[in-house]
Structure 1
Amino acid sequence: MRSPALLKKLLLTLPTLFGVLVVVFVLMRVVPGDPAALMLSSESTAQDLVEARKSLGLDRPLPVQFASYLGDVLKGDFGRSITMKQDVMELVFGRLPATLELALTALFIAAPCALLLALVAVYWRGSWIDGAVDAFNSFCLAIPEFLWAILLILAFAVLLPWLPISGRLDPVQQLQFRTPFYFFEAVLTGQFRTAGHLLSYLVLPAVALALPFMAVIARVLKSSLADAMSQDYTQLARVKGFSEARVLSRHALPNALLPTVTVTGVHFVLLVGGTVMVELIFAFPGIGNLLYTAAINRDLPLIQGVTITFAVLFVVLNTLVDLTYALLNPRLSEQ
C-alpha cells in the first residue's frame, strides 16, 4: 500500500473521530439527570448545585460547551471523574491494558482452534466430521459471550471448583509488575508460576469471549479453503502427485488466509468493545467494567473519556488490519 493511499485512509479517520465526539457530547446532554448533582451530598443547597454546574461548565451555552470540550479532547484533557475523584485518563489507561490482555488472550485461544476446525472440516469435507464441525460452530455462535460466561462459571467454579471467578489476580499475593500487562510480562520474563496464577483468572473470561469468535473465524476460513481447493493451482498440485494434506496446507491455506485476516481483525475490534458484560460477570478490572460504572453513575467526564478511547482504539486497530492485509496481498501493495 503506497504512502498516498495510507495517508488518505488515515485522513478519513478524522471525520469518524469527530462524529464520535459529537454523538457523545449530544447524548450526554440529552440523557435525563444532572451530573453536577452527583458531586453533592444530600445536605447541599441550591447554591452548591449552581457552583457545581459552573465548575463542570454546564451553565454555558451548548456551542461554548462543545468548543471547550473539543479543545480539552485535543489536549488529551478529559477532566476528573465525578464519582472516583481521579484524573479520567489515569483511570482509563489504568484499566485499558487489562481489557487488551483479555481480548488478546481470547484471540490466541480462538485463532488456532478455528484454524484446526477449518482444516479438519475441509480435509474431510462431505463427511460426518464436516457436519459435526458445522454443528459445533453453530452451537458456539448461538450462545452469546455473557451466557458462555455464566455457563463456564457454573461448570468450572461451582460444579468443579477449579478456577477463580472474579478479579485479575489474588489480592493476597504480593506480586510486583513493571508493566500493566501482567500475564504477558510474566510469560516474557520467565515467571511461569506467576503466569499460571494469572492465567487461572484469565482463562474463563477469555474462553467466554473466544468461543463465538472462534466460530466466526472457522466459518470464514472453511469457506475460503473450500473455494481455494477448487481452484486451478490446487488441481495442478494434485496432478503433480501432492497429497491432499499438502495441497490443503501448502497451496490452499496461504490464499485462504487473506479474507480470514480481515474478518479476524474486524471481529477482534468488536471483541475489545464487547467485553463489558463479560468483565462485569467476572468482576474483571477492565475498561468495560469502568464504562459500566461510569454509565450507572452518569459520570460525564469518565463516560466521554472511555468512549473516545474506544473510538481511537477502533480506528487504530482497523488501520493495522488494513496494513496487515496489504502486506499479505502483494497486489494491494502496488496500488
Structure 2
Amino acid sequence: MVRRLALMVPVLVGLSILLFAWVRALPGDPARALLGEKATPEGLARINEAYGFDKPLLEQYFTYVRALLQGDFGNSIQYGRPVVDSFAERFPATIELALAALLFAVLVGVPLGYIAARNQGRALDTAVVSGSLLGVVTPVFFLAILLKLVFADKLGWLPTVGRADVRLDATHPTNFYVLDGILTQEWDAVGDAMLHLVLPALALGTIPLAIIVRITRASVAEVLHEDFVRTAESKGLSRRVISRRHVLRNALLPVVTTIGLQAGLLFSGAVLTETVFSFNGIGEYLFQAISQRDYPVLQGFIIFIAIVYSLINLLVDVSYGLIDPRVRVQ
C-alpha cells in the first residue's frame, strides 16, 4: 500500500503538468468569457492581472502547485467563490448518484453474468449477452429521456428532475441527501431522496451493468473448465459449495478490476445524466466551467477526481489479496 501511495505522487505531478497545459490550450479567453460583450482592453487586463494570467506560464504553474500543496484550489472566475466550496456543494450529489448506479450494476450484473456462464450456449445465455450488448450501445441521454417519459411523465411513479422535492423542508448538513435524512431521522426525506435517485441511477448504471455482465460471464466460463472445478464435482460437492468456494472466488479478480474502473468513471461525473435530470453534480458543473474557460474550477475538480480515481485503484489492488491468497504470497 505504501508503494502504491508513493507511485501516486509522480502520477499526480505528471497530471498537473498535462492539465495545466491542456487548460491553457483551450480556445478562448477566461477574461473575455467572463466579460462577454462588455469586454474592453482595460477590463481584460484587470481580470488577467487579478488571476495572474498575465505572468509567464512557468511562474503561473509553480504558483498553482504551491497553492495546491496548501489545499487552496483557487476561486472560480465565473462565480467568484472558492472552488472547494463548490466542490463540497456538488460532489456529494455525484457520489450518491455514482454509488446508486454502481450498486445497481453490480447487484444485477454479477448474478446475470454467472447465470449466463452456467447456461452457456442456451437461450438464456443468448438473451443475457444480447441484452448486455444492447445496454452498451444505447446512448445514455436517449435512455435517460426514455425512462423519464415512461416512468415519470406517463406513469407518474417517479420524480423527473432534481435531488429532492422542493416542497420538502429537509435539513442537509453534509449535502448527502440520503445520509442527511438518516442522521436527522427525517425518514420522509430519505424516501424522497432515494426516489429521486432511481431514474438517474438506472440510466447511468446501464453501461457499467452491461460491461460487468460480459466480464463476469467470460471469467466464470473460463473457471468452469479448470481442473480444480472438475475435481470438486467428482468429489460430490454440492453445486452451491462449488460455486461459492471454487468458481466465484477464482473468477472475481477481473470482475473486481472492471468494477473499480467503472467506479472511477462514475465518480468522475456524468454530464449527460446530470443534465437530463438536473441533478446538480460535478459533471454538469465541469461542462459549464469548460464553456466559460474557468481555469481554477477545471484544474481543481480534475485533480481531485484523479486523486479519487487513484484511491479506488488502490482499494482494488488491496482487494486482490483479500479475494485470492495467492496474490498475498506473491
1:279 CA displacement: 0.8
Q: Which amino acid aligns with 1:222?
A: R
1:62 to 37, 57, 75: 57
1:268 CA displacement: 1.4
1:204-283, aligned counterparts within 5 Å?
Answer: 204-283=199-278
Q: Which amino acid aligns with 1:182?
A: Y
Using the alignment, how far apart are the partners of 1:122 and 1:56 within structure 2?
57
1:106-255, aligned counterparts within 5 Å?
Answer: 106-186=101-181, 191-255=186-250
Q: Which amino acid aligns with 1:113?
A: V
1:192 CA displacement: 4.1
Change over 3 Å in CA distance of 1:301–1:243 after alignment to 2: same
Using the alignment, how far apart are the partners of 2:101 and 2:294 within structure 1?
30
Q: Which amino acid aligns with 2:166?
A: P
2:85 to 78, 90, 93: 90
1:78 to 66, 73, 86: 73
Aligned to 1:35: 30
2:5 to 7, 10, 16: 10
RMSD over equivalenced CA pairs, Å: 2.0
Change over 3 Å in CA distance of 1:119–1:45 after alignment to 2: closer
Structure 2: tracts of 5 or more residues without a match? none
Q: Percent identity?
A: 38
Q: Which amino acid aligns with 1:64?
A: E
Which stretch shifts more, 175-184 or 317-326? 175-184
1:184 CA displacement: 3.6
Contact in 1 for aligned 2:250/2:324 (Cα 8 Å): no
1:213 CA displacement: 0.8
Using the alignment, how far apart are the partners of 1:38 and 1:142 within structure 2?
36
Contact in 2 for aligned 1:229/1:248 (Cα 8 Å): no
Using the alignment, how far apart are the partners of 1:200 and 1:314 within structure 2?
28
Using the alignment, how far apart are the partners of 1:184 and 1:255 within structure 2?
35
Which stretch shifts more, 244-253 or 20-29? 244-253
Contact in 2 for aligned 1:262/1:321 (Cα 8 Å): yes
Q: Does 1:24 align with 2:19?
A: yes
1:174 CA displacement: 0.6
Change over 3 Å in CA distance of 1:111–1:184 after alignment to 2: farther
1:299 CA displacement: 1.4
Aligned to 1:102: 97
Q: Does 1:47 align with 2:42?
A: yes
Change over 3 Å in CA distance of 1:325–1:189 after alignment to 2: farther
Using the alignment, how far apart are the partners of 2:107 and 2:184 within structure 1?
24
Contact in 2 for aligned 1:123/1:245 (Cα 8 Å): no
Q: Which amino acid aligns with 2:176?
A: F
Change over 3 Å in CA distance of 1:75–1:212 after alignment to 2: same
What TM-score, normalized by structure 2, do the two folds share? 0.93
Deviations 1:137-189 (A, max 9, x none): 11111113232212212221233232222111112211013322221443577
Using the alignment, how far apart are the partners of 1:49 and 1:60 within structure 2?
14
What TM-score, normalized by structure 1, do the two folds share? 0.91
Contact in 1 for aligned 2:249/2:324 (Cα 8 Å): no
Using the alignment, how far apart are the partners of 2:35 and 2:310 within structure 1?
37
Aligned to 1:332: 327
Aligned residues between the structures: 330
1:256 CA displacement: 1.2
Q: Which amino acid aligns with 2:286?
A: L
Using the alignment, how far apart are the partners of 1:18 and 1:88 within structure 2?
20
